[in-house]
Every structure is written in structure tokens, then in C-alpha cells.
């Protein structure tokens, strides 16, 4: 029985190899022009800024650093660390472009909450600013989900400005975070 198993396995492998040699591998997708926007993120960054925790509360200062790389030219992957009000945080941000949906997509997860932020967005006409739309927990009203709008803007090749705004119940947008970062490498 063992010889039969070995013979059958060898025959299947040989047939598979012959078939594979006669077939052309499928063409792999290549990054599109929209993916080039993500190259601006690549490098090591350090920054600081402020977060407004709620109405009447004083702003909290924050510090951040992240290392950003491209994955296959399709995805920007950022591994970040930060500190807010003495609390340490780690995060991972991914951004890419979906050519089928014709929009930028991504995710943010961090060590301070169990919520995964899912992004869809677009780059403005200047090619220096991306606006991301998402939904998440309202820090002012626990248990409720609100819309958020987050931006990354590149005033020049070594500066990056991040803002996060939350849509209020009256429809107005309130900026709750602003962090300015400088490329170190």
C-alpha cells in the first residue's frame, strides 16, 4: 500500500509540474498612479500636538513617532507610538488605494481601545492632502457612534499635519486632534 501511495503521489506531482510548465502565470497587478500618493508617508516621523477631550476641558498635549513603509507599492503601513497625558499608546495604520472602488481605504487600531477604525477617503487636487471618513465611539458620549473626518496634509516633503474632527449632532465638524510631525529619516 505504501508503494501505491508513493507512486500515486509522484504521478500527481509530475502531472502538476508538467501542467504548470505549460501555463503562463497570471499577470500580477501593479500599483496605479493613485498609489504614488502613499510614498509621501514613507520614513521615520516625530511630532507633537493637542487633543481636546471634551467641552470645557483643557487641551491635552501629545507626542508621537512612527515608522512608515510601503508594502508592495500598494499599502502604506505605519507602526506608531505616542503619549497623551502620561498614557503610552501604540498604533498601526494602513492606507491603500482600491482601484475597483476608486477610493483610498485603510484601518487604524491602537492599544487604547478595542475599536477598529475603517477608512474610506480621497486625495484633493493638490496631491498633498488626503481626507479619510470613518465612524467611531464618541469620547464625549460613551456608547454612541459618530462620524469622524481625518486628514493628513503634506505642506512640504518633510512635514505632515494630521487632524481629526468629529461631526456634532447639529452637523457641524469640531476638530478634536491636531498633530504636526517632521520627517527624521
Instruction: Residue 109: give the domain boundaries.
Output: 33-183
27 found inside a domain = no
Question: Please, what is the average pLDDT of the chain?
Answer: 89
The answer on pLDDT for 166 being more than 90 is yes
Q: Residues near 72 by Cβ (< 8 Å), separated by ≥ 6?
A: 31
Model confidence pTM above 0.95: no
User: Per-residue pLDDT tens for 60-87?
Assistant: 999 999 999 999 999 999 999 999 888 9
60 found inside a domain = yes
Domain count, the chain: 1
CATH code for the domain of 154: 2.40.128.20
Helices and strands per DSSP (H, E), number in the chain: 1, 10
Neighbours of 102 (CB within 10 A): 9
pLDDT of residue 82: 94
d(CA 68, CA 80): 8
Q: Give pairs for 99-106: CB < 8 Å, separation 24+.
A: 99/29, 99/32, 99/34, 104/34, 104/37, 104/130, 104/132, 106/76, 106/132
65 found inside a domain = yes
21 found inside a domain = no
28 found inside a domain = no
User: Per-residue pLDDT tens for 94-151?
Assistant: 999 999 999 999 999 999 999 999 999 999 999 999 999 999 988 777 788 999 999 9
8 found inside a domain = no
Amino acid at each position: 500500500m505504501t508503494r501505491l501511495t508513493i507512486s500515486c503521489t509522484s504521478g500527481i506531482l509530475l502531472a502538476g509540474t508538467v501542467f504548470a510548465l505549460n501555463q503562463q502565470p497570471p499577470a500580477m497587478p501593479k500599483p496605479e498612479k493613485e498609489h504614488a500618493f502613499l510614498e509621501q508617508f514613507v520614513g521615520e516621523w516625530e511630532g507633537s500636538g493637542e487633543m481636546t477631550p471634551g467641552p470645557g476641558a483643557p487641551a491635552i498635549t501629545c507626542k508621537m513617532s512612527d515608522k512608515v513603509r510601503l508594502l508592495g507599492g500598494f499599502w502604506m503601513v505605519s507602526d506608531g507610538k505616542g503619549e497623551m497625558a502620561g498614557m503610552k499608546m501604540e498604533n498601526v495604520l494602513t492606507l491603500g488605494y482600491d482601484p475597483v472602488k476608486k477610493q483610498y481605504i485603510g484601518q487604524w487600531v491602537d492599544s487604547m481601545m478595542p475599536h477598529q477604525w475603517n477608512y474610506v477617503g480621497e486625495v484633493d487636487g493638490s496631491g498633498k492632502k488626503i481626507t479619510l471618513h470613518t465612524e467611531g465611539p464618541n469620547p464625549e458620549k460613551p456608547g454612541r457612534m459618530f462620524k469622524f473626518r481625518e486628514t493628513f496634509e503634506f505642506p512640504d516633503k518633510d512635514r505632515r499635519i494630521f487632524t481629526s474632527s468629529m461631526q456634532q449632532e447639529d452637523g457641524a465638524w469640531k476638530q478634536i486632534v491636531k498633530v504636526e510631525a517632521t520627517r527624521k529619516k
